[in-house]
Each structure stands twice: as C-alpha cells, then as structure tokens.
Structure 1
Amino acid sequence: MNTSEKHPLPKKDFENLAEIRNLNCVSIFLPMDKKGKEQNMHLAQALLRQCINEVQKTLMEHQMHMNEIEEYLRPVEQLLEKVQLWRNPSDGLAIFLDSEKGMRYYLVPIPFEVKTYVAGHFYLLPLLPLYYNDGLYYLLDLSQDYVKLYEASRYSFKDLHLEDFAPGQLEDAVGSDYEQKNLQFRSGQATYGASFHGQGAGKDDEKDELLRYFRMLDEGVKKIASDSKAPLVLSCIDRLYTLYAEANTHHNLYDKHLSGDPEYKKDDKKHQKSWVLIEEYFRRPQLNKINKFNELFHTQKASYEIDVIVNAALNGKIDALFIEEGADVFGIYDKKKNEVLIDKNREINNVSLTNLAALQTFEQGGEVYFLPSEQMPVKESPMNAVFRF
C-alpha cells in the first residue's frame, strides 16, 4: 500500500493524458509481482514482453514499418532492464507512449488485467477507479500516554504532528497530579494505568482528568484538521472512544473506531485498517446514485442502452455512469450523424466506446463507478447511466 502524501496519479496528469490526440498512441496495463519468488522468475517482465509483441503486430496493421516500430517502442523495451522498477513494484503498471510526448509510466495500486490498446488516443478506463469512492479523513491515535493525528485518504497517509498543538500525553495535561504506579507494577501487583492526584482518587476524578486532556486534544485537532467536514476516526481502546466523544467538537466524528492500543502499530497497518473501516462511508454516494437510477428507471432520465449513453456522455448529460467491471464495448461514433455503431470485437478502425463514454463523463463532472456484474442496476447491459436533464 502506498502511504506517501502524493496521489499515485494526480488528476492533472490524468487530464493531460486524456487530452492527447496523436497517431498510434500506445496504452499498456499489466499486474506486477510483489512477492520475491515471482519477482525472481521475472513473470511481470514476461507479461510486458508479450504486450510489446502484441503492440508490434497492431502497429504493423497500422502500416508502420518494422524498423519504425522497433525505434518507436524502444523506450518500452528499455523498461525490461530497469531493475529498480521490478524490485519496487506497486500492484499494477500503466505505460503510455506517443510520438510527441514519448513514454510515461505509472506504478498504481490497482492489480490490472493485462491490456494493450493502440488508437489515436490513450485508453484510460482502468485508471478511473483512482478518483472515486475516496476522500479525505483524519485518524487520531489515542491513549493516555500517546497521541498522533494523521490526514489520510485511500492512497495517502500523513502525520500532522498534533504534539505541536496539544499535549502528547495525559501527564502533560494534568501535570504533577498524574503519577504512574511504577512501584505497584514492579512488585507484580495488578494495576490500571495511573493514579490521579496521588491520593487514590476514584473513577469520577479519573474521568475528569481524561476529559480535561481530551478537550485540550480537541482544541489541537481543530487547529490543524483543516477540513471540518472530513470524518475523524479514532484508534483507541473502547472506553476512551466514549470519553473522547464527550469532549469532541469536530463536526464529523465517525461512529466506528479501531479498537485497541494504537501506540506500537506501524503506519502502513494503521492506514490499511483505517481505510477498511472508513471505506463504507465513502461508498455512500455510489449507493445513492444506484438508488437514484432505480427510481428513474422507467423515465427518460436513466438508460441502459449503449448508443443513448454514449451520445449523452459526449453531450455532457451524464450525472452517474455505471460500468460493469471487465466489460468493454467497441464501435464507432459518427460525429456528423450523431450516430453510434456497435461492433462485436475490437477492430483496427473502431474504438472502446466504454472508454469514450467514461472519459467524457469524467471530464464533464459526472461520476463513474465500476461494479461487479451482479451489482449493476440493469445486469443485461455493461453500461447504465443517470442523466442530468
């Protein structure tokens, strides 16, 4: 999992790729190997070699001479010898080549199906899941003697250094009133955490001290958590969640938390587990759009007909587009006649209508969702859409 601060493919880079129109734009997608055994067997490199061979054949069909093809594909060939690329993989590798800009490649946390595509534009459909069902959230690691605040998304995880704005532990908040029961611990007697006021104060005093501490933390969180609408996820023992909720003033404290002491957990595990917990929250817009499709199914505001959907996408009329995972529809869009012709297979003169509809929807502010076939609103069609008008 990528825990860097940067998105694996910033939206601006994606948009730049989508704008390119040139002869023989090459798009290649393949999965990579993360396990040492598979890496040693060079399986991913073998897949890339197969892809290069497929692209060579396609370019020959496009009337390029073999010496031109070899020169054109040389940058892709050179990736086979790029040792660090294969030793430090992500889940998938996306490669793009055109005669004007040359080659670009991206390591992406998506385990792609092997795909090659040659046309007057790039095939970007497999990358679109990077921009949906995601969003900003905060993770607060919380215990009596340890606190951390992270800004996170599906692909990023960043320490916000809460300790610069709030006490890092309970002792810092309540001062000399707090004393660890070290002697009891060393003597083997059972103990819980700390004593308060040094005089065996009861549970009410303990709660008051914790609430005082958590209110200080809450003030620090408000100072550096810049998006007040982003959900705040807690990682703490169950008892502390209830107490922190009482002190919290953040507008969107998530109603589920990661249970247990967070102090000795590694950042990549925190990121992974917190995303699993919060992912449902970011999928709510998708579910709302599916419900909207079902409500509008028998009206002209929704459709599962491919030609209607492609036309609507090209005219900026799609609010939400649902695409069956792994499906692709090929054909030709006749701009003069405003007509869509659908073919059974990929041919030298046709294009992916699915890629076309998805990119047009994305570029014009619509939502694009990829669903397993059994979750498609109308399962008989690989594309369903809700229209804006």
Structure 2
Amino acid sequence: MYTAEKLPLPKSTFESLMAKKTLHCVSIYLSMDKKGMEQNLHLAQAILKNCLEKVRTVLLQYQLHENEVEDYLDPITQLLGRVDLWRNPSDGLAIFLNPDTGLQYFQVPLLFETQTYVANHFYLKPLLPLYHNDGTYYLLELSRDYVKLYKASRYQFKDLFVEDFAPKRLEEAVGFDHRPKVLQFRNANNLSSAGVFHGHGEGKDDDKKEMVKFFRALDKGLKKAIENQNAPLLLACTDYLYSIYKEISTYKNVYDGHLGGDPEFKVKTSLHQDSWNLIAPYFKKYESEMIQKFKDLSYSQKTSYEIGEILRATFQGTVEVLFVENETDVFGTFNLKTNRVTVEKSKDISNTSLTNLAALECYKRGGKVFLLPAEHMPMKNSNLNAIFRY
C-alpha cells in the first residue's frame, strides 16, 4: 500500500505551532544537502552552526546567562550529530524550539532561504505553501473492477476509501449475474460441423449502458466522500471510460484531461507525481487570475498595498486574498487595541515580522495566501498586496 498519506508537517501541527505564544521561541530554516559531495563536506551542518551562533547572540540580549542559553539550545546542537537526519534529507529543514514543548523539527519538500528568528512566537510564513499554494484536488482511479479515490495536493496523497460509499467494481452496480459480452461457441447439427459463434447482448452499446449504471452509482458515492466540492476531480483511466464518466458525472469540476491507461498496475508514487504534473497548470492559472483581479480592482477600495490597512483588515477577517513578497520581511509592531502599526528598519527583541503576522492571520481566517518573488507581486515595491472580501 502507498503510505504517503500525511503532509510532511500536518496541518494540526502547523496550527499548534501558530498558537504557541511564549518567550524565547526559536525558528530556524535552512536547505539540506541532497548531493553526496555536499553531504560529505557537511555544508548544511555548518550552516546550522552559524544559525545557532546568531540565535545565541539574540538570546543573550534577553538577559539570559550564557549557561542558560547553552542548555536551552542543546537539543538543536545535538541535531548536528544526527547522521540519519543529514544522510536522508528532504529539500528543507524547519526547526522550532520553545521552553514549554522543547524541540520540534521537520524535513519538508520546500527549499528555504537560511533564516533565524527569535520572538514570543514562531516564524511560520515559509511553511504556508504546504497548505495554500499546493492545490487540493481529487484523483479517481477507475476501471471496470477497480476504484480508488485520493485526496491529493502537491505534497499529499491520501486514500479516501471511496469503497465505503460506492461500488468498487462493475458487478456491484449492475448485478452479480452480469456476464461479459464475449462470443461463445455452440454446436449446430444443421450447420457446418465447425459450429457457430454467437454473442449475448448488444455488444458495445450494452457495455456502455452497464458502465453508465456503474458510474452513476459511483458518482453518488463520490459526493459523499469528497469534502471540498469545488476542488477539481482528476481521472486516471482509459480514454473510453473517461469519456463515459465525464458525460454522466454530476460533479461540477471534473478536470478536462486525464491520466490514460489502467491505473491499477501503476506505481502510486508515479501516479501522484504524474497527476500533479497534469493538474498543476490549473492552480497556476488560479494564482494568475487572482493577480489579474488585483490589477483590475487596483483603483478601487477592494484592494490595498498599504501595510497598516492590510494588517487591520486581516484581523477583521476581510482579506480574501493576500500576496506576500517572500524575499524580505517588514518588521515593526502592531497594537491590537488601537490598530496602530509602527514600521521599523530591522528585527530586534521588541518587534515582530509584520509580513509573517499578516500571512498567518489571513490563513487563520480563511483567506488565500500566495508567497511570491518581488518581481511577481501585483503591485511592485510593496511587501503586501490584498484583495478584500467587501
């Protein structure tokens, strides 16, 4: 069985990290080395050592004693000697430490810029692509005697066990007395001794009728298993079955395109990657549409690129889409009681990343968050762009 059913950092864990508020929360991000030569040179470990030095310097500004700092950071220091961690890397490593829950670290399929952050909360903005830019879709593997439904994204591939809600093969929908429409041999006394062949049913037309009955039953069960009815449904099946299913399905977003062939015998890791490669342009198109929407509304009150206005709107839950420039941060303070925003030049122990704050608050309240390079931001020279719900 294919076991890639969990995100590299489950949403529930991410949200528990987001809720953590305590002094001296440490966040470290770095990319890992996948090439043997880089691993042998211990380049990633050297980067982590440098990160630890930066974190030590900041923690000492909190008036902690050097011994306290060393003891506190020891769990991260011990990671340097974890051979299994560095020999089996993912793209990136995210490390979190706080006095209450101790050390948590996650290998994730994201390439990170090296970053360190110390505050009364964790810095989580770099992880948002795992949940917002990945694109949720459903993949239905389909043949006459094989049905599988997966909830999928760029980083997730989870079996939804559609057989609990729907028939898993043709016979369950059309009856177990179903017989394949094959030619059978019969002797005939008044004909040639070679006998004659005859068939049951009406061949291809009869076959299609049975497939339609099967797929209609499956379509009903599918709707019970799928939570997000707006997400695209991608099929993995033969061209013949795809044309029938797309014709009869009442699901409103069957993807216009499918993975051909019989899916039962495909390697699941390949199926996941192939399905993402096929459907990725759908989600890229959505991002492009939102960027264009911002531009179309840019001279109205439905958009903003002013950080104070956007921060206030995120806490009011009125931001529908937030674009965050992912290469730099804006630091400062935000007073929840007065809604006053103060922007400062750099990070210190008394301020926060305002871009991290806005991104997480928008995520928490159900808005869409897109992390973009500076040159792709709808409004250039602005770290935050927002489309408001109203």
State the TM-score, normalizing by the size of structure 2.
0.81
Aligned mates of 2:300, 2:4 — CA distance in 1: 45
Is 1:205 paired with 2:203? yes
Aligned mates of 1:327, 1:173 — CA distance in 2: 63
1:21 corresponds in structure 2 to: 21
Structure 1 residues 264 and 38: CA distance shift in structure 2, 3 A = farther
Is the 8 Å Cα contact of residues 179 and 198 (structure 1) preserved in structure 2? no
Written as runs of structure 1 = structure 2, the 5 A alignment for 1:243-322 is 243-282=244-283, 286-322=287-323
2:192 corresponds in structure 1 to: none
Is 1:113 paired with 2:113? yes
Q: CA deviation at 1:368?
A: 1.7
Unpaired runs of at least 5, structure 1:
181-196
- Residues 75-102 of structure 1 show CA distances to partners (whole Å, capped at 9, x for unaligned) of 1112223333334433222111111221
1:64 corresponds in structure 2 to: 64
Structure 1 residues 212 and 64: CA distance shift in structure 2, 3 A = same
Aligned mates of 1:155, 1:84 — CA distance in 2: 22
Is 1:33 paired with 2:33? yes
- Residues 246-285 of structure 1 show CA distances to partners (whole Å, capped at 9, x for unaligned) of 3444443211112344344311111112122223444565
Aligned mates of 1:72, 1:116 — CA distance in 2: 16
Structure 1 residues 334 and 90: CA distance shift in structure 2, 3 A = same
Is the 8 Å Cα contact of residues 215 and 245 (structure 2) preserved in structure 1? no
2:10 corresponds in structure 1 to: 10
1:150 corresponds in structure 2 to: 150
1:219 corresponds in structure 2 to: 217
**Between the two proteins, what is the percent identity of the paired residues?**
50
- Structure 1 vs Structure 2 CA RMSD: 3.4
Paired residues in the alignment total 372
Q: CA deviation at 1:35?
A: 4.3
Aligned mates of 1:285, 1:347 — CA distance in 2: 37
Q: CA deviation at 1:145?
A: 6.8
Structure 1 residues 48 and 259: CA distance shift in structure 2, 3 A = same
2:364 corresponds in structure 1 to: 363
Q: CA deviation at 1:70?
A: 0.7
The amino acid across from 1:380 in the alignment is N
Aligned mates of 1:34, 1:234 — CA distance in 2: 33
Structure 1 residues 298 and 159: CA distance shift in structure 2, 3 A = closer
State the TM-score, normalizing by the size of structure 1.
0.81
Is the 8 Å Cα contact of residues 181 and 200 (structure 2) preserved in structure 1? no
**SS state at 2:110 partner:** coil
Structure 1 residues 106 and 207: CA distance shift in structure 2, 3 A = farther
Aligned mates of 1:162, 1:350 — CA distance in 2: 49
The amino acid across from 1:212 in the alignment is E
2:350 corresponds in structure 1 to: 349
Aligned mates of 2:265, 2:107 — CA distance in 1: 29
Is the 8 Å Cα contact of residues 21 and 121 (structure 2) preserved in structure 1? yes
Aligned mates of 1:198, 1:94 — CA distance in 2: 68
